[in-house]
Amino acid sequence: MRHEIIDASQLELNDKVVSIKRVTKTTKGGRNMRFTALVVVGDGQGHVGAGLGKAVEIPEAIRKGKEDAVKNLVTVALDENNSIQHDYIGKFGSAEVLLKRAPEGTGVIAGGPARVVCDLAGIKNIRTKSLGSNNKQNVVLATITGLSEVKSPEEVAAKRGKDVKEIRA
Closest CA to 117 of 33, 27, 16: 16
What's the confidence (pLDDT) of residue 162?
Answer: 85
- As a whole number of angstroms, the longest Cα–Cα distance in the chain is 68
Q: Which amino acid is at 116?
A: V
Tell me the C-alpha distance between 56 and 121, whole Å: 30
Q: Say if pTM beats, i.e. exceeds, 0.85.
A: yes
Residues of the chain with CATH 3.30.160.20: 8-74
Tell me the C-alpha distance between 144 and 39, whole Å: 13
Closest CA to 146 of 159, 132, 157, 158: 132
Residues of the chain with CATH 3.30.230.10: 76-161
Tell me the C-alpha distance between 86 and 88, whole Å: 6
What's the confidence (pLDDT) of residue 1?
Answer: 52
Please name every residue paired with 47 in a beta bridge, in sequence order, or none if there are none. Answer: 75
Q: What is the pLDDT along the chain (169 residues), one digit of tens a residue?
A: 555 667 767 778 899 999 999 999 999 999 999 999 999 999 989 899 999 999 999 999 999 999 999 999 999 988 888 899 889 999 999 999 999 999 999 999 998 899 999 999 999 999 999 999 999 999 999 999 999 998 888 888 888 888 878 877 6
Q: The domain 8-74: what is its CATH number?
A: 3.30.160.20
What's the confidence (pLDDT) of residue 11?
Answer: 78
Topology annotation, domain 76-161: Ribosomal Protein S5; domain 2 (3.30.230)
Closest CA to 75 of 28, 134, 122, 12: 122
What's the confidence (pLDDT) of residue 161?
Answer: 85
